[in-house]
Amino acid sequence: MKAFDYAAPASLPEAVGLLASQPAARLLAGGTDLLVQLRSGRKQADVVIDVKKIPELNEITLAPDHSLTIGAAVPCYRLTDHPAIRTHYPALAEVASWIGGTPIQGRASLGGNLCNSAPSADSIPLLIALSASAHLIGPAGRRSVPVEAFCTAPGRNQLAPGELLVAIHIPAPAPHSGAAYLRFIPRNEMDIAVVGAGASLTLANGLIAAARLALSSVAPTPLFVPAAGESLIGQAPTPAALEAAAQLAQAAASPISDMRGSAAYRRHLCAVMARRALELALARAQESK
């Protein structure tokens, strides 16, 4: 690893200014992706800008309507430990407790997970299912991007030079809705998803009123499958309907073979994990008021 300069701005304007003057700088939140990549030589940096000292990036705001804003640098453990998040967003508390392990979760942020833009990122399918958006700031001001449109290729995303992620915003969940993220790993921790599936589902009058499904590790980016969710709208939440939606997710996937699993195995898992995520989301929707 080569030596680099380090800066830790204490405010958003300072950070934006610094980034404008150092467009090649690397942003550091928890560092659990970045530092590994710098050490292995996969990325280089002359300047590293630590965003953890910026107050807005460390805030968790749960509005009265239960919409949720998570500062980009909030470490995972704060989500897992947050009583209201555990109540209203159990799937989010779960995913935050699965990334890495206990020591990693003391640092790793959802913002970093999103901006690292790995196809396997565990939080992204769930954020897509929850209709989350990414709030960005840059030289041209603020803008918001739906999470499903944020990642563009492995490790690449919509962030323009000089831009940084401020927060992830999740709109208020509808009544009688539930969400889930499930990943398949051969072990029970410390593994990268072979396939992951995030789902949300809203019930009205016994029928499915809204549904969203996204997958990880089966395409160059986390994969939103609108057709899968749409197929469920207006349907009774039967096993056959969920299975049909899962099949649509499987059809949309274009997995590769690597050391974590063959394409054929991943394709098989797509349907299994999608169905199980929908089942869990359904169970949560049925329990929710």
Partner 1 sequence: MSTPTYNVIGTRPIRHDGADKVTGRALYGADLQLARLVHGAILRSPHAHARILRIDTSKAEALPGVFAVVTAADFPPAPADKIVDFGEGDTLLSSLRGNILASGKVLYSGHAVAAVAAVNAHVAAEAAALIDVEYEVLPCVLTAPAAMAPGAPILHDHLPNGNIAETVRYEMGDLAAGFAQASLIVERELDTATVHQGYIEPQNATAFWSTDGRIQIWCSTQGSFVARDATAAVLDLPVSHVKVTPMEIGGGFGGKINVYLEPVAALLSKKAGRPVKLVMSRRDVFTGTGPTPGSRVRVKIGVNPEGKITAAQAWLAYEAGAYPGAMVVPGAMTVFACYDIENILIEGYDVVVNKPSTAAYRAPGAPNSALATETVLDEIAEKLGLDPLTLRLRNAAHEGTRRADGPRYKRIGCVEVLEAMQASPHYNAPLPGPHCGRGVAIGFWFNVGLPSSATLSVNADGTVNLIEGSTDIGGSRASLAMQAAEVLGLRAEDIHPTVVDTDSVGYTGVTGGSRTTFSTGLAVHDAAQLVIAQMKARAARLWAVDHVDFANGVFSANGNSLSFAELAAQLGATGGPVSCSATVNPKGVGGSFAGLITDLHVDPETGKTTVLRVTSVQDAGKAIHPAYVEGQMQGGTAQGLGWALNEEYFMDADGDMRNGSYLDYRMPTALDLPMIETIIVEVPNPGHPFGVRGVGEANIVPPLPSVANALYRATGKRLNRVPMNPATILGL
Ligand X SMILES: Cc1cc2nc3c(=O)[nH]c(=O)nc-3n(C[C@H](O)[C@H](O)[C@H](O)COP(=O)(O)OP(=O)(O)OC[C@H]3O[C@@H](n4cnc5c(N)ncnc54)[C@H](O)[C@@H]3O)c2cc1C
Q: Closest distance between partner 1 and the C-beta of residue 193, in Å?
A: 12
Q: Which residues sit opposite 6 in a β-bridge?
A: 48
Candidate residues 5, 103, 264, 287; the one interacting with partner 1 per rule CB under 8 A:
264
Short-list 119, 132, 193, CA closest to 165: 132
Among the listed ranges 51-59, 137-145, 148-156, 182-190, the one in contact with partner 1 (CB under 8 A) is 182-190
Instruction: Report which residue type is found at 277.
Output: A
Does 260 help bind partner 1 (rule: CB under 8 A)? yes
DSSP for 223-246 reads EE-HHHHHHHTTS---HHHHHHHH
Name which of 10 and 259 has its Cβ closer to partner 1.
Answer: 259
CA dist., res. 99 & res. 78, Å (int):
13
Q: How many CB atoms lie within 10 A of CB 46?
A: 12
Tokens coding 122: 């565990």
Does 240 help bind partner 1 (rule: CB under 8 A)? no
CA dist., res. 277 & res. 273, Å (int):
6
Name which of 75 and 173 has its Cβ closer to ligand X.
Answer: 75
Tokens coding 186: 């051969």
Candidate residues 37, 268, 283, 288; the one interacting with partner 1 per rule CB under 8 A:
268
Judged by beta carbon distances under 5 to 8 A according to partner kind, the member of ligand X, partner 1, none in contact with residue 258 is partner 1
Candidate residues 5, 81, 189, 287; the one interacting with partner 1 per rule CB under 8 A:
189
Judged by beta carbon distances under 5 to 8 A according to partner kind, the member of ligand X, partner 1, none in contact with residue 107 is ligand X
Residue count of the chain: 289
Tokens coding 267: 């394709």
Judged by beta carbon distances under 5 to 8 A according to partner kind, the member of ligand X, partner 1, none in contact with residue 272 is partner 1
Does 104 help bind partner 1 (rule: CB under 8 A)? no
Query: Interface with ligand X by CB under 6 A: which residues?
Result: 26-34, 36, 51, 72, 98-100, 104, 107-109, 111-113, 115-116, 121-122, 159, 164-165
Angstrom distances, CA of residue 50 to CA of 24, 73, 78, 91, 171: 14, 10, 19, 28, 28
How many C-alpha atoms does 257 have within 13 Å on its Cβ side?
A: 4
Among the listed ranges 76-84, 179-187, 228-236, 245-253, the one in contact with partner 1 (CB under 8 A) is 179-187
Residues in contact with partner 1 by the rule CB under 8 A: 1-3, 184, 186-192, 258-262, 264-265, 268-269, 272
